[in-house]
Amino acid sequence: MSVAEANGTPSACSLDLSAMPGRLAEWERVLACTRRRIEIDGGLRVEFPPRVDLGDIARLVAAEQQCCAFFDFAITVDGRGVGLEVRAPDEASEILTTVFGDAA
């Protein structure tokens, strides 16, 4: 996956092509319990039920940041519940949607 250079941040996913199906499957497994997806400025907020494994989310976020530095992630646990906010430059909006889905 590749996007245009944005603000000096590496703009392409550096994950080996052979590893992409496995990574996408990991995200699908974690995102399967999503309660809802909300559009936010520059990205998406994915909300989970309280029983979600925060360790799985954190591990995947860290791995994704290593290969896709154009994503910005924030994990929140607050009155709204457990959430993962993902932001990306406009050029990466298709990648964001492919991995994390559309706002509903």
CB neighbourhood size of 59 (10 A): 13
Mind listing the pLDDT tens digit for each residue in 59-70?
Answer: 999 998 988 889
In the chain, what are the domain boundaries? Answer: 17-100
The answer, yes or no, to whether residue 90 has pLDDT greater than 70, is yes
Please tell me the distance from the alpha carbon of residue 87 to that of residue 101, in angstroms, as a whole number: 13
Name the band, by pLDDT with cuts 50, 70 and 90, for residue 15.
Answer: low
Nearest to 11 by CA among 79, 97, 81, 95: 95
Name the band, by pLDDT with cuts 50, 70 and 90, for residue 2.
Answer: very low
> What is the second-level CATH architecture of the domain 17-100?
2-Layer Sandwich (3.30)
Name the band, by pLDDT with cuts 50, 70 and 90, for residue 19.
Answer: low
The answer, yes or no, to whether residue 89 has pLDDT greater than 90, is yes
